[in-house]
Each structure stands twice: as structure tokens, then as C-alpha cells.
Structure 1
Amino acid sequence: MGEVNNNFTKVSEFIIVGFPDLQQEYFHLVAWIFFLLYVITVVGNSILVVIFSLEPSLQKPMYIIMVSLALSDIGFATVALPKLIARYWWNDGIIGIHTCFFQTHMIHYFGSLNSLILLTMALDRCLAVCFPFRYPLLMTVPNMVGLTVFCWIIAHIFPGIGTINFTFASFCGPNKIIQAFCDTLSLTALSCGKTNQKLYSLQGKKKTISTCATQGCIISIYYIPRFFVYSTPFFPNLTMTADKRIITTLFYSFFPPLSNPFIYCLRTKEIKEILKRWIQRRKRIAQG
């Protein structure tokens, strides 16, 4: 803990603790788990982006949403996981105060962005189910690109307000973050000043359920665990240990990015057909 020449804080760096009760003998195992999680998340979502880029037939509104979600998931994993991996691989949990502020901003930025993307995805599916004949006119590629760009820009607003608040907050005591990464709850707990918080026919029926079920599952996984983590401080009878809170946070943070590319690739007929063609083409080339 060093000295910073300003009137706001005496802390120049924080320490990412991660799981406080984890024994050191398991550090390398945990590091490998998070490393594999990062690689699978980035590779899986990158494949989805590459498929979209190389196949003109996928230049459709629905796939624009998927690619936007894939890029957001790659960004979130890249912001959150490398420092956590370093914490358990090289016992390097130190993070500079400004880097911590940046990580906090980007963690909540990608969280807000994913929420907006899921909202756009729900709007797209709602229009497809409720107004199938007007859907091609309402949800054109330019309209979807505009909505996507709007989501990527506006998602900065609330995280930006929180980040600005933290730059004027005082950190003059403990600097250990009992979490897997810097976030609003962790920084607020360490602040010795006041910081404002921002908290956020039968066949036809079967087709409708099939269309919306995946989004419903992803949204449930994304928001229900968040409710328990963020509501715990406000309900005295609702207790959660640090390790359970971190595990819950990691679950809702990384399970959707990990599963999204596989869910959408396996459920989307066009992508499955494209993958089959690519595999058959590679086999023909290999056979000469």
C-alpha cells in the first residue's frame, strides 16, 4: 500500500484476494480451470464471429445480435479473467488503483451491454413471433446495426457514473478485494467516504416456445444469481459467505459467455449446415 500525492486517497493499489478460504495447494488447479474457461470462451465466441464474417448468408438481424453478444462475451472474459489467473498462477493479485477503476468500469460496462443485447434479442424474437409478416420490414439489417451500435454506446452511461464517483472517493484503509475482480460492491466496501451506488396452433405454440426458451434460460441464469448477490447487503437475514458470493458471481459472469456460442450454434439450423459444409470441404481437401 503506497502513498498517492492527492487529497483523496492513501491507497495506490489493491490486492485481488479471490477465494479467501482456498488452500494454496489448489492455486495452480484453480488457475488452470480459469485459464481453460478463458480459452474456451474466447475460442467458442470467436468461431461464431468468424462464421458470421465469412458467410454472406448469415448477414441477417438475428445473427448480428449473436455476433454482438459474442464480442461482448470475449471482452468481458478478457477484462475479468487474466488478472484472476495471474492471482492463482503466480500469486500476483496486485492491481493499481486506476487499473482497478478501469476494470470495474469495463466489468459493469459489459454487464450492462449484455443486458441491452438480451433486451434487443427479446425484441427481435417478439417481433418475429407476434408480427411475422411485418418482421422483415421492421427488423432490417440497417435497423439492427443501428440498435446494436446504440447498445454499445449507451452501455457506458451508468458504469461511467460509478467510475467517476470512485475517482473522487477516499480509500484510506484496507486494500484487499475479497472478490475475483474489481467491482462496485468491493470498492464501495473499501471506501472510507460515501460513494453513490447504481443497482440495474399447437405447432405454432411449439415454435414460439422453441424460439424463446433459450433466451429465457440465458436471462434467468444471468439475472437470478445477480439478485441474490446484490440484495444480500440490504437484507440482514440473507447471509452469504465470501466464497459462496464469489462462486455465484463467477457462475453468472462466465457461464453464459461460455455456453452462448454452443447453444446458438447447436440450435441454429443455418450455422449447423455451414459447419457441416466446412467439415466436408476439409475432408475432401485432405483426401486429395
Structure 2
Amino acid sequence: MLVSNGTNLKHFVMVGFPGLSSAYFGPVSVLLLFVFLAIIVGNAFTVAVIYLIKSLHKPTYIIFVNLAMTDIIFAIVTLPKVISRYWWDDTLTLFGTCFTQMYFVHSMGSITSLILLLMALDRFIAVWFPLRYPTVVNNRSISIACFLCWCLTFIRMVGVVSHALTLPYCGIHGNIIPHCYCDHLSITQLGCGNEVKYVKVVSLGIALFGLLMPLAFIIFSYFSVIVAVIKMSQAESRYRVLSTCAPQIFITCLYYVPRCFVYIAHNLGLKIGQEIQVVIVMLYSFVPAIVNPLIYCFKTKDIKDALSQSDTAP
């Protein structure tokens, strides 16, 4: 286990939902278990369907698979611990385990952001450059792009976590994390020394770049798509493009709007109760992961047609 000089904390105490009465521990743990199962089953089904049905081996569905994988990993990394916290009152998290969880939490968030960017780019090229789409956006190019999203993010997050590990965690500020999982802000605010503010500022800059840079292009891309739809003369073409992009815009808003609100509120000094903040974070962390399979799998025409054909096949 890596620790920096001056660190004497062996574990952190996970609060979960601050202020939650013990009378609700059982129902909350059951609810979180259902959330966990819904995410795992729904996204695993999406991955399996796209993998097994060859007609779905297309760039768009490769992106869907990568998005589903980030949701599965995020759920596996976070939910079992918070479920055990309320099921068995298991509040302790080892020092190294907490940093490992932080690494994957922020990695999956960043990768999801980049995957949503690829999704927007896919629609942008399909609408504005339909003749060049087959040559520019193909299975090979999208697979390479997704691979780079994962690899570059994992490398970048090693630096973020290593920087947080340089802080001494001496116990002056306690070892309580008022959250349902370990994240950078919750951990570094327990650090000691003069470098805490610097570590937070560097991490914030990296987080905002990883959040706002993809968001800026996503907004530009979908705005361009809407402009292109308005210019279309055929109602059928407009409906087809909007039916493809509308779910993606919905998921993007569901992912980004609460996240941006929390970041802006925190940095502008707006007072948000810890309980409300944790609930908001949990909603934008897990609701999209539950909704994604419903939108990208069960509401996608190609997948529905492929499933219906497999059901009727002899």
C-alpha cells in the first residue's frame, strides 16, 4: 500500500447518505441492490446482444458497448461497498482501497464523457458528411478511438491519484468521508499540509478540462445536427435523424447537467446541503447507467429488429 510521509491513517469511515436514520438502512440497501442488478443485467444484456448478433457489428454499436462497459465497471467499483455499508453496517474502507476506488470512479467518469463525445461526433459526421461517413467512421477507426479513450484516461488518472497520494493524511481533519464512495474531493480535504489547496486546484483544472472540452464539442455537434434537420425538406428524413439523436441528447443532458451544477455550485461557494449534494451525485452517477440499456438497446430500431428476427428464426 502506497502512503506518503506523514500519513498515519489506516482506513476511512464511509458515511453514505449523511443524516439517514438507521430505520431506513434496510430499505436503502435493498434499493441500491436493485439498482446494482439493473445496471449489471441491463448493460450486460446490451453488450451480449451486440456481440452475438453480427448485423450489429457497426461503429455506433461499438460505442454503445464501450458506454455499457463503463457503466458496469462503475457500478461494480462503487455499489457493493455502499450496499454493505447499509446491509452490514460496514463503514470502514482501507486507505489503499479508497484510493483505488477513487481511481476507477474518476476514470469511468472521464471515459464516459469521451464516449459521449464520440457518439456526438458519429452523428455529426453522419448528418453533415453522409458520403464520407463509411470511410471515416468504420469499425476500425471507432475501435481505435474507444481504445485511446480508455488508455489515455487510465494514464492521466494515475497522475491525478499519485498527486493526491503525495499529501500526508495525518488525521487532523479526521477520516470520515461524507459520501457513498471515495472521490478526489472527499479524500483530499482530509489531507494535511500547505499543498492541499494546490492539489485540489490541479485536480479541478484537469476535471473541468475533461468535462467541459467534450461537452463543448457535444453541444456544437448536436446544435449543428438540429440546424441540418431544420434544413431538411423531407419530413421522413427529419424524423429519422431526430429519433436517432433525441435519446443521445437526453442521456447527455442527464449526465452533464447535474454534474455541471455540482461543480459550479461548489466553486461559486453556493450552499448546498451535504445530504442534497450526495443525492444529486448518486442520481447522475447511476440513473444514466440504468436508462442507457432502455434507450440504446430496447428503443433502437436495429436492435429491436435483430432481436425479433432471432426470436422468429427456426
TM-score by length of 2: 0.84
- Pick the aligned partner of 2:279 from 241, 244, 247: 247
Change in Cα spacing, 1:55 to 1:6, as seen in structure 2 (3 Å) is: closer
- Pick the aligned partner of 2:293 from 261, 265, 272: 261
1:205-216 pair list within 5 angstroms? 205-216=238-249
8 Å Cα contact 2:50-2:65 kept in structure 1: yes
1:134 CA drift (Å): 1.3
Check if 1:105 corresponds to 2:110. no
1:130 CA drift (Å): 0.8
Instruction: Give the match's secondary structure for 1:256.
Output: helix
8 Å Cα contact 2:25-2:86 kept in structure 1: yes
Check if 1:276 corresponds to 2:308. yes
Distance in 1 between residues matched to 2:245 and 2:296, nearest whole Å? 12
8 Å Cα contact 1:116-1:155 kept in structure 2: no
- Pick the aligned partner of 2:268 from 228, 235, 245: 235
- Aligned residue type for 2:256: Y
8 Å Cα contact 2:55-2:306 kept in structure 1: no
Distance in 2 between residues matched to 1:50 and 1:139, nearest whole Å? 23
Moved more, 157-166 or 8-17: 157-166
Instruction: Give the match's secondary structure for 1:92.
Output: coil
- Unaligned regions of 5+ residues in structure 2, if any? 209-232
Check if 1:175 corresponds to 2:171. no
TM-score by length of 1: 0.92
Distance in 1 between residues matched to 2:88 and 2:35, nearest whole Å? 18
1:8 CA drift (Å): 2.6
- Unaligned regions of 5+ residues in structure 1, if any? none
Instruction: Give the match's secondary structure for 1:45.
Output: helix
**1:121-150 Cα distance to aligned partner (Å, 9 max, x none):** 111111111111211111111111111111
1:89-238 pair list within 5 angstroms? 89-173=87-171, 174-193=174-193, 194-195=195-196, 196=199, 197-198=203-204, 199-200=207-208, 201-203=233-235, 204-236=237-269, 238=270
**1:60-117 Cα distance to aligned partner (Å, 9 max, x none):** 1011000111111100110111100010000002111111001001000000000010
- Pick the aligned partner of 1:21 from 6, 19, 22: 19
Distance in 2 between residues matched to 1:166 and 1:8, nearest whole Å? 13
- Pick the aligned partner of 1:54 from 38, 52, 55: 52
8 Å Cα contact 2:3-2:165 kept in structure 1: no
Change in Cα spacing, 1:175 to 1:57, as seen in structure 2 (3 Å) is: same
RMSD (Å) for aligned C-alpha atoms:
1.7
Tell me the residue number matched to 1:79. 77
8 Å Cα contact 2:59-2:142 kept in structure 1: yes
Moved more, 246-255 or 197-206: 197-206
Instruction: Give the match's secondary structure for 1:151.
Output: helix
1:280 CA drift (Å): 4.3
**1:4-27 Cα distance to aligned partner (Å, 9 max, x none):** 996331211001101121000110
Distance in 2 between residues matched to 1:149 and 1:216, nearest whole Å? 23
Tell me the residue number matched to 1:40. 38
8 Å Cα contact 2:178-2:186 kept in structure 1: yes
